[in-house]
């Protein structure tokens, strides 16, 4: 039987940011935008601090210029904690050292730089997270960078702060001669409580990976 050629695109997504900024919760919400409120509540109230890598996948058919692309998202979520809290807890640096050599971690399609709108220092520490991504050489011409201001249900972020950070990030990336355009650094405000911005963020990620992710062909 003759099969039909199917188009696939796959890409990695890396949420980065300090502990408790919402990386794990937001990832779970991005995976399933149609969840029941009971599951939403369970994710919000029962998510614990991460001490290991969390790998999550989802797949969806996306129309790109009239062509159906089966788009797979691969989320690699690490703990935000960089200082050791006690002898038996693990840090971001310890876990990344193990998973660094994953092929999917070589170049990242979407990096989410998350901060918590109610804790200003989590915004200023994004420069450190960006410098880390630069050292790791995760950014390439197919990388979309999104500054995610999370927890906007707690406090409304100042637009000028977000704009300033986006512009500083782009400047730093260009100083290191990464081949990315200014519109590859974007900003989205989210709340994992009200779900504001979550769908918009999901659409940005899926649409980017459908177009710029690794392309494969297969037979249906």
Positions touching Mg ion (CB under 5 A) are: 23-24, 50
Closest CA to 30 of 159, 166, 208: 208
Whichever of 96 and 193 has its CB closer to ligand GTP, that residue is 193
Q: Are 109 and 12 in contact (CB under 8 A)?
A: yes
State yes or no: residue 49 binds ligand GTP (CB under 6 A).
Answer: yes
Answer for which of 191, 209, 210, 213 binds ligand GTP (CB under 6 A) is: 191
User: Helix (H, G, I), strand (E, B), or coil: what is residue 56?
Assistant: strand
CB of 148 vs Mg ion, minimal distance in Å: 14
User: Helix (H, G, I), strand (E, B), or coil: what is residue 116?
Assistant: strand
Tally: H helices and E strands in the chain: 7, 7
Radius of gyration of the chain (CA): 17
Q: In the structure encoding, which two tokens stand for residue 194, read together?
A: 């009200």
Pairing of strands 110-116, 54-64: unpaired
CB of 11 vs ligand GTP, minimal distance in Å: 21
State yes or no: residue 84 binds ligand GTP (CB under 6 A).
Answer: no
State yes or no: residue 105 binds ligand GTP (CB under 6 A).
Answer: no
Answer for which of 31, 35, 40, 47 binds ligand GTP (CB under 6 A) is: 47
Give dist(CA 104, CA 118) in Å, integer.
32
Whichever of 74 and 142 has its CB closer to Mg ion, that residue is 74
Q: Are 12 and 104 in contact (CB under 8 A)?
A: yes
State yes or no: residue 24 binds ligand GTP (CB under 6 A).
Answer: yes
State yes or no: residue 199 binds ligand GTP (CB under 6 A).
Answer: no
Whichever of 20 and 90 has its CB closer to ligand GTP, that residue is 20
What residues make contact with ligand GTP under the rule CB under 6 A? 19-25, 44, 47, 49-50, 79-81, 150-151, 153-154, 191-193
């Amino acid at each position: 039987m003759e099969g039909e050629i199917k188009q696939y695109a796959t890409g990695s997504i890396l949420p980065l940011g300090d502990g408790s900024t919402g990386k794990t919760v937001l990832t779970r919400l991005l995976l399933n935008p149609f969840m029941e409120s009971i599951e939403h509540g369970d994710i919000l109230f029962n998510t614990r601090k991460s001490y290991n890598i969390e790998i999550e996948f989802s797949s969806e058919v996306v129309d790109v210029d009239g062509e159906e692309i089966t788009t797979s998202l691969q989320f690699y979520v690490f703990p935000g904690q960089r200082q050791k809290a006690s002898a038996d807890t693990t840090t971001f640096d310890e876990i990344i050292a193990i998973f660094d050599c994953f092929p999917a971690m070589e170049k990242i399609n979407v990096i989410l730089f998350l901060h918590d709108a109610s804790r200003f220092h989590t915004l200023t520490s994004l420069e450190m997270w960006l410098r880390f991504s630069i050292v790791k050489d995760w950014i390439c011409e197919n990388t979309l960078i999104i500054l995610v201001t999370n927890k906007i249900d707690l406090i409304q972020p100042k637009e000028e702060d977000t704009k300033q950070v986006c512009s500083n990030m782009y400047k730093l990336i260009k100083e290191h001669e990464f081949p990315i355009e200014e519109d590859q650094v974007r900003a989205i405000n989210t709340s994992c409580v009200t779900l504001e911005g979550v769908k918009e963020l999901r659409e940005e990620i899926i649409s980017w990976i459908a177009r710029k992710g690794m392309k494969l062909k297969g037979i249906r």
